[in-house]
Amino acid sequence: MSVNFDSLPSDNPNGTIPKGRYHATIKSAEMKQGKPDKDGNLKAPYLNACLMLKTIDKNQGKGNMYDIISESEQPIAQYKLRRLVEALELPITGKFELKDLCKIIVGKEMLVDITIDNPKEDSVYPAKNVVDVFSGAIYYSTTDTPAINAEDAEDYVSAEPAAKDDVEY
C-alpha cells in the first residue's frame, strides 16, 4: 500500500480548540461507573455526555469532546448540573435520577464554555478541552442572547452603545 505524503495532516487531529463559547449538540449520553479511589472504594456513577462542538454560527465543526456530569455534594458540581438542565430548557422540578437525564438529553443543543486543561509537567497525558466551570455560566440556552464567543468578548464590551436618536421604535 502506498501513502501520499502530501495528503497527510500537518496538524495533530487530537489537538485542542481555543478557549471560548461553542455550539454543542449532545451526540450521546450514558451512565458510567466511577473508577476505584486509592483505597479501592468505587466512586459514584456519573453521566458521560459526548458533545459535538461547532462554532457559534454552526458553520465550522470543532470536533467532539466528553463532559462528565456527576451527582455530588460539591457546590460546583450541583451548579453545573443545574446549568445543564436550564440551558437545555428541560421541564424538571423536584427530585430526579441522573440516569433518567441520559434518556432525554441526546440530540439537544446548547452553548457551552470550553477551556484547555493543561496537565502537570510530569503527566503522560496531553492537554485536552474541558467544559469551563469557572469563567461564566458554563452552559447556555441556544435562545439566550447575545451568544458571544470569548474571542469576540473584548470587542463586544468595548463597543459604543447606540445613541438614543439612532434607535427606531
> How buried is residue 51: exposed, middle or buried, by Cβ count under 10 Å (0-12/13-18/19+)?
buried
The residues near 4 (Cβ < 8 Å, ≥ 6 apart) are: none
pTM over 0.85: no
The predicted structure's pLDDT at residue 33: 92
What sign has the CA pseudo-torsion 117, 28, 51, 96?
Answer: negative
CB 114 within 8 A of CB 20: yes
The residues near 78 (Cβ < 8 Å, ≥ 6 apart) are: 72
CB 63 within 8 A of CB 36: no
Quick one: which of 16, 20, 17, 18 has its CA closest to 150? Answer: 20
The predicted structure's pLDDT at residue 85: 95
CB 97 within 8 A of CB 104: no
Q: What is the DSSP letter of 129?
A: E
Quick one: which of 110, 15, 29, 109 has its CA closest to 63? Answer: 15
Q: Which residues of the chain have pLDDT under 50?
A: 146-150, 152-169
